[in-house]
Structure 1
């Protein structure tokens, strides 16, 4: 009996020894996927990337995007925003023009219309075309291993018409006089926005609030998501977002982006909003419909509108702008590069939308399969250089403790935009000719600088006569000896 006991003990030790390296490897793998919790320091220097999984690759899958995540580090990306990854409703699915899929008789033709990402039929699943939940988890883990956070596009204002809540809880939806759920209405006119592929949710119901919060918690608790981008955030009651955030942060800190510039949303719910007004002014500058002085006036306005720790996302394109209002080239023409550089140097966080890094000059289809180009041309090295500067230079901090922003007076305030940013002893100056023609000017600036994009050394004296070609710009870094 004693011998049998000793033999069993020996076998047990042998097995445990064999398991030990495996456990160590597993622990190392788990450790490698860890990332610091969302924090204010990260927000100061982050670039955010909007990933359109459907259109990112010919395959349109999580795996095809995941393999490119390490490459995003080259662009200074710290936050990946995934457009909705959930299953899309079939009922009332948008097709072409004013037609829904029910209006298309040919079954083969119907297959072309994949529907709007924002007509969600189940908040707790991923779209089967994109891959499995395991593929999704691999995407998140790969991002974390590369020092990037992942946020999900969250559509809390409405669901697709196939969502189970329409059957189980019709009282959670806005209803007409007949008690029928309706698509979202413009509160100012009472008329439909035209989003006929979705049903409007009614947040007067506590049951809805609890269910929606639980679905958000699912992604943070079970799939390690780092936050959310809230679609039409202002159409959902602010106190819902505030209460949901309080629950989410019981699990871990999260990053919250609102598709809104409503300052009330930033008080207790969101970290960052959309710089919509700034974007429209940038379009106006590029199209000759706005002057550099209008930008100066706008910056003075937001300085008094927002609290000191509020900040906005700066963009020259996004999924809506690209598909519905035109490509960067269509809207901004020869001013495109100057506007991209401007989006990195003003306070806030710059956005790269899928394809922007590859000089994409086409409008991506919204309801059908399409694919972005994958050839590195002019824009990729520019974004690399701008991303490196954004990540490393405190003068471009743009979050809750942003670098200062000061307008620089020039002799031609209508055409020349000039401002400086300063923090921790670092100073950066952005100067651009917001006109198609050559422009001469002087400005209230002096010192020794390096043109960051070209490497050229410049000695500038106050009121020195200077000239910039049409839509030309400079990012000047003050020499450390200054």
Structure 2
């Protein structure tokens, strides 16, 4: 009997060991055919600390390559950004291509660097140098569709959506004729997509992804991908930005969504002379179903799409002063700010990302650049702006709001018109403040007069 008890006891111990091992496996780094390149980035910004700088590689330098980005890392750092978001780095499809060079969002090969941009080693070096300057690097990821000459087309036709006649289709409801719609009901395709994303985390040590067209990719795919990607680096998180506005992106694991509604609102404010109170309404809409205060919306006054289709910030927001006054609101109103390369120097030409349109950095408006640096620098030091509670006090002409965190209070007033206006001050906000940029004392009475496109940022 004792012998039998020993056998049973040994068997139970073995089962317990196997059970523990199985449970532990869920937290282990997944097996991969890749070897990790580089060390974890130990200066990864917290979610609320991110300031994103979008790089259009074709436009960023005369060379239009990754080395051209590396050469200006110091300038990006001095601006105050800590996340560099690279537009797609992959080879571009030639079949049915749009524009002179084709769209960077028509991906021919998910696991290669566009030879026009350089090599994998160039990307590795760029990431290493950015890390040395305490900046993360994220890649643009196009999960919804591929170029027509992507090898997946010929090797795995069933990885794509098809019409009743068996023809691969373009993304439904679009005129994107240069790309083919992937089929997210196909498990093999989804596994290959996640493998391709992990390739860059391993082989280039990148820090995250900005996910293109995210609203049209199933959330269960994003949840699976994000879970697996975040197991790769044990001592570092992976930053995930959805180019989408669905609140359930947060449940899938995304850190940020895109402020489409916010941008449309500020654009209409200038186009159609809308009230500045609509900005508060937009903020309420974008955060309506966001229950975790750690989740944030990325807001911007320019990006590659609106720059090309709608215009530069100078065109859209009343010139130099108006564009700065609008950026203050975008950067400070419960947001993660994003800057598109060139806007910080007042670059007045649209950047066609289907061709090479290099920015002339020598044409920089140094006064404007100083304003951007000043605005971002204060955000980087203010917990109230990063994580505070928002209260709106806007009028038709002025976007006015407070951001409060613990004992810190910030009061922002930005005149978004080309007229001198008086803004009434609520009783609770009357009194003595400090100018957030100069430290000088500012006393608020019943009202304050703001010059055309003037903004004030005050702190207690």
Specify if TM > 0.5: yes
State the Cα deviation string for residues 293-343 of structure 1 (Å, max 9, x = none).
222233344443322332110100000000111111111124211101111
Match of 2:16 in 1: none
In 1: Cα distance, 2:37 partner to 2:425 partner: 53
Give the C-alpha shift of residue 92 in structure 1: 0.7
Match of 1:420 in 2: 402
Match of 1:172 in 2: 159
**Moved >6 Å (runs of 4+):** 30-33
State the Cα deviation string for residues 181-227 of structure 1 (Å, max 9, x = none).
111111xxxxxx11111111010100101100100011112211111
In 1: Cα distance, 2:384 partner to 2:97 partner: 47
Report the secondary structure of 1:273's partner residue.
strand
Partners of 1:120 and 1:160 within 8 A in 2: yes
1:210–1:323 Cα change, 3 Å: same
> Does 1:331 find its partner at 2:316?
yes
2:178 to 178, 197, 201: 197
Match of 1:90 in 2: 94
Give the C-alpha shift of residue 406 in structure 1: 1.1
Match of 1:110 in 2: none
Report the secondary structure of 2:449's partner residue.
strand
Partners of 1:428 and 1:475 within 8 A in 2: yes
Match of 1:468 in 2: 450
In 1: Cα distance, 2:242 partner to 2:296 partner: 11
For 1:3-82, list aligned pairs within 5 A. 35-36=41-42, 38=44, 42-82=46-86
Match of 2:374 in 1: 385
For 1:421-460, list aligned pairs within 5 A. 421-444=403-426, 445-453=429-437, 455-460=439-444
In 2: Cα distance, 1:37 partner to 1:181 partner: 44
Report the secondary structure of 1:260's partner residue.
coil
> Does 1:229 find its partner at 2:210?
yes
Partners of 2:37 and 2:205 within 8 A in 1: no
Partners of 1:283 and 1:332 within 8 A in 2: yes
2:282 to 298, 304, 312: 298
Report the secondary structure of 1:129's partner residue.
coil
In 2: Cα distance, 1:70 partner to 1:419 partner: 33
Give the C-alpha shift of residue 384 in structure 1: 1.0
Partners of 2:384 and 2:404 within 8 A in 1: yes
TM-score normalised by L of structure 2: 0.86
Partners of 1:34 and 1:144 within 8 A in 2: no
2:256 to 260, 265, 272: 272
1:304–1:234 Cα change, 3 Å: closer
1:344 to 314, 327, 331: 331
Partners of 1:404 and 1:423 within 8 A in 2: yes
> Does 1:315 find its partner at 2:300?
yes
Partners of 2:210 and 2:240 within 8 A in 1: yes
For 1:96-245, list aligned pairs within 5 A. 113-186=100-173, 193-245=174-226
| Gaps in structure 2 of 5+ consecutive residues | 1-35
State the Cα deviation string for residues 89-146 of structure 1 (Å, max 9, x = none).
1111113xxxxxxxxxxxxxxxxx2110001100000011111111110001011111
| Gaps in structure 1 of 5+ consecutive residues | 1-29, 96-112, 187-192
Match of 1:396 in 2: 385
Partners of 1:440 and 1:467 within 8 A in 2: yes
Aligned-CA RMSD value: 1.9
Partners of 1:291 and 1:434 within 8 A in 2: no
State the Cα deviation string for residues 453-477 of structure 1 (Å, max 9, x = none).
455421123xx23211222111112
In 2: Cα distance, 1:203 partner to 1:143 partner: 34
TM-score normalised by L of structure 1: 0.83
Partners of 2:37 and 2:202 within 8 A in 1: no
In 1: Cα distance, 2:447 partner to 2:74 partner: 45
